[in-house]
Amino acid sequence: MATTNKSVAQFLENIATYMRLAGENDFRSAAFDKAARLVETMDSSIEQFIQNGNLTDIKGIGQSIANDITSFSETGTAPVLEALKEKVPNELIKWLDISGMGPKKIYKIHKELGITTLEELKVACDDGRVAALAGMGAKSAEKILKSISWMEQFAERCRLDEAEAIAYRFKDLLKGMSGVKRIELAGSFRRKLETIGDIDVLIAADENAVQTIFDAFTTHESIVEVLGKGDTKSSVRVQEGRQVDLRIVAENEFDAALMYFTGSKEHNVVMRQRARDRGMALNEYGLFKLTESGETNFEERIPVYSEDEIYKALGLAWIPPELREDFGEFGSFEGDSSINLLNESDIKGVLHAHSTYSDGSYSIEQMALACIERGYEYLGLTDHSQTAAYAGGLNEKAVYKQWKEIDALNEKFAKEGVSFRIFKGIESDILANGDLDYSIDVLKGFDFIIASVHFSLEMEPEKMLERFKRATENPYTRIVGHPTGRLLLKREGNPFDMNALVEFAAEHNTAIEINASPWRLDLDWRYGRKAEQVGLLSSINPDAHDIEGIDDIRFGVAIARKARFTKNRILNALRADELKAWFENK
């Protein structure tokens, strides 16, 4: 296993989870959780500290945890984790996927009932033993059974595009209803995480309209189960398996509630502490003064009427929702400071798209016309290269034929007075040794090349990094494609040291794409701070295999914003002539 920041953070989180499943002191597990977050959010590679033997220089990591990290780097595990695994039955790990079942609750049921498997848990819920436990009850047992049923049928999380379809279904349903004053989508969807759990809808409404709104929400045709219906919140399960929560608040509470339910939890913790440091209390109901004893004085509401005003009252500029992860955003937005993040309107053209020459569904002209219809200035066509025979990869003869067609189309657009250009590109496979997929005579004829890995994805991380480095420094490579090779919720990416590749690519004036396909969203946004630090360029690439795929650019823009990219570091925010000059200036 590669010793990357991500792998070490996951290792530490695993220890914390196992500790809670084993019923150990929560203080110890909390220390591992904190260490995991520290490692995951570091700008530099944890490997440097391991090699130098100075892990304890990282504030928050003591000698014991440092020893565990070192052991992990050497062996892929640590004695503390192996000892915990001896105590915790493997079957209990599956229980973590049950909605509402955290490690502590799992340990309680396991210890008191002496059961370990999902089947035993279902039987214990059915026969009343779970309901009889202190703090549980019949409703809890029923919810566990329902959750197990859904868990067995659906994944716990969904992709961003899947969540979008569900979220806007309910927003469109409710936004025009009588009494609705304001409506927003919140939670991880508003923060644009790459995968989404529950979907949160927040409404400010007249009090006399609340029940009518809840009735409309809970009776929609896509709902298969009403999980709960109250005076301020209702929850449903939809046919896709997702849970949707609707909260209705008073209009003067809406902005504080929107901030609170957008999260993240870690961001909110910092915000609440900033409020207390200034003699105030921030919660989902608003911003209030503190009493002399430090309690919230709900009688003294501080007049703030937007998220912007709440942030300003706490000494911050408004922080875009995508950045609210306690991932360095507070330092960047202190006082009047801010970051002018990329917007979708900044994108001038489409790079990374496929045609019927390889595995695309539409001709080059059809893809170009679709780009023109959307207001773009250019299309960078990048069919698969010859090694990708399974995807109709182009041999040299097909490449030359495609170039002639592109020349003819560009000439046609010019004669018709259409200001649009098709760039001759290719998505070249990176061969096992890091070479590109054609001879130099062919490579030099392309306007640009995206270099991607499509085979030997499980190569040893150190070798994979070297493979990418060799391709990145190739004078014909202008963009590295979907670097980890992950498919969200289906396939983990290769765990090589991405921070090292980001730095190497910046040094060699090569961009790394943010693949905008909701299946990929790769480069991962968590590498955004490293990318910012070294000045990495990127490109928001839809990897479109059909016309509809072009519109995936919006997902890539969301991830680019989350990764702190500004317009000046995005290639396809350039005009066509500017981009042409950059392609030629390796």
* Mean pLDDT score of the chain: 94
Q: Residue 435: is its pLDDT beyond 80?
A: yes
Of the given ranges (183-197, 433-447, 478-492), which has the lowest mean pLDDT?
478-492
Across 324-336, average pLDDT: 96
Mapped onto helix, strand or coil, the DSSP state of residue 482 is coil
Pair of tokens at residue 186: 């919140």
Do 144 and 43 belong to one domain?
yes
pLDDT classification of 1: cutoffs 50, 70, 90: very low
Torsion of CA 265, 266, 270, 272, to 10 degrees: 20
Task: Name the pTM for this structure.
Answer: 0.77
Q: Residue 2: is its pLDDT beyond 70?
A: no
Q: Residue 154: is its pLDDT beyond 60?
A: no
pLDDT at 48: 87
In the DSSP assignment, the letter for residue 194 is S
Do 67 and 212 belong to one domain?
no
Do 414 and 511 belong to one domain?
yes
Q: Residue 210: is its pLDDT beyond 50?
A: yes
Do 148 and 93 belong to one domain?
yes
Do 535 and 391 belong to one domain?
yes
Do 57 and 106 belong to one domain?
yes
pLDDT tens string 24-78: 888 889 999 889 888 877 777 898 899 999 999 998 899 999 999 999 999 989 9
CA distance to 109, 157, 382, 417, per residue, from 105 (Å): 6, 21, 51, 68
pLDDT at 204: 98
Across 111-128, average pLDDT: 92
pLDDT at 321: 98
389: number of Cβ within 10 Å: 11
CA distance 91 to 89: 5
The answer to whether position 317 is within a domain reads yes
Q: Residue 400: is its pLDDT beyond 60?
A: yes
Q: What is the largest CA-CA distance in the chain?
A: 81
The answer to whether position 564 is within a domain reads yes
Stronger pLDDT, 419 or 155, i.e. the higher one: 419
Instruction: Specify burial of residue 173 (Cβ count, 10 A radius: 0-12, 13-18, 19+).
Output: middle
The answer to whether position 585 is within a domain reads no
CA distance 352 to 454: 15
Across 461-470, average pLDDT: 97
In the chain, the percentage of residues whose pLDDT exceeds 70 is 98
The answer to whether position 455 is within a domain reads no
The enclosing domain of 175 has a CATH number of 3.30.460.10
Peptide bond just before 338 cis, omega within 30 deg: no
CA distance 125 to 138: 8
Q: Residue 152: is its pLDDT beyond 90?
A: no
The answer to whether position 449 is within a domain reads no
Looking at the chain, the number of H-run helices and the number of E-run strands are: 24, 18
Q: Residue 153: is its pLDDT beyond 80?
A: no
Whether the CB-CB separation of 177 and 209 falls below 8 Å is answered with yes
Q: What is the DSSP track for 241-271?
A: S-EEEEEEE-GGGHHHHHHHHH--HHHHHHH
Handedness of CA 57, 63, 69, 71 (dihedral sign): positive
- Among residues 153, 174, 191, the one where a domain terminates is 153
pLDDT at 13: 92
Q: Residue 469: is its pLDDT beyond 50?
A: yes
Q: Residue 491: is its pLDDT beyond 90?
A: no
pLDDT at 291: 93
pLDDT classification of 3: cutoffs 50, 70, 90: confident
- Among residues 138, 153, 168, the one where a domain terminates is 153
Q: What is the DSSP track for 446-464?
A: SSEEEEE--S-TTS-HHHH
CA distance 100 to 243: 12
Of the given ranges (50-54, 98-102, 207-211, 542-546), which has the lowest mean pLDDT?
98-102
pLDDT at 150: 66
The answer to whether position 228 is within a domain reads yes
pLDDT at 386: 96
Of the given ranges (17-26, 35-44, 407-416, 440-449), which has the lowest mean pLDDT?
35-44
The enclosing domain of 45 has a CATH number of 1.10.150.110
CA distance 436 to 385: 9
492: number of Cβ within 10 Å: 12
pLDDT classification of 296: cutoffs 50, 70, 90: very high
Do 105 and 121 belong to one domain?
yes
Do 265 and 234 belong to one domain?
no
Do 407 and 492 belong to one domain?
yes
Q: Residue 384: is its pLDDT beyond 80?
A: yes
What is the number of structural domains in the chain? 4
Across 441-448, average pLDDT: 97
CA distance 419 to 577: 11
pLDDT at 63: 94
The answer to whether position 45 is within a domain reads yes
Q: How many CA atoms lie within 13 A of 329 on its CB side?
A: 27
pLDDT tens string 526-551: 999 999 999 999 999 999 999 999 99
The answer to whether position 436 is within a domain reads no
Across 554-580, average pLDDT: 98
The enclosing domain of 520 has a CATH number of 3.20.20.140
CA distance 232 to 227: 14
Q: Which residues contact 177 (CB under 8 A, 6 or more apart)?
A: 209, 212, 213, 216
Do 212 and 300 belong to one domain?
no
Q: Residue 155: is its pLDDT beyond 70?
A: no
- Among residues 153, 173, 191, the one where a domain terminates is 153
Range of the domain at 11: 5-153
Closest CA to 478 of 327, 581, 388: 581
The enclosing domain of 303 has a CATH number of 3.30.210.10
Closest CA to 97 of 108, 84, 106: 106
Alpha-helical runs (H) found in 3-77: 5-21, 26-40, 46-52, 63-75
Q: Residue 430: is its pLDDT beyond 90?
A: yes
CA distance to 10, 417, 520, per residue, from 195 (Å): 17, 43, 10
Do 224 and 176 belong to one domain?
yes
Pair of tokens at residue 451: 């270099």
pLDDT classification of 96: cutoffs 50, 70, 90: confident
Do 270 and 245 belong to one domain?
no
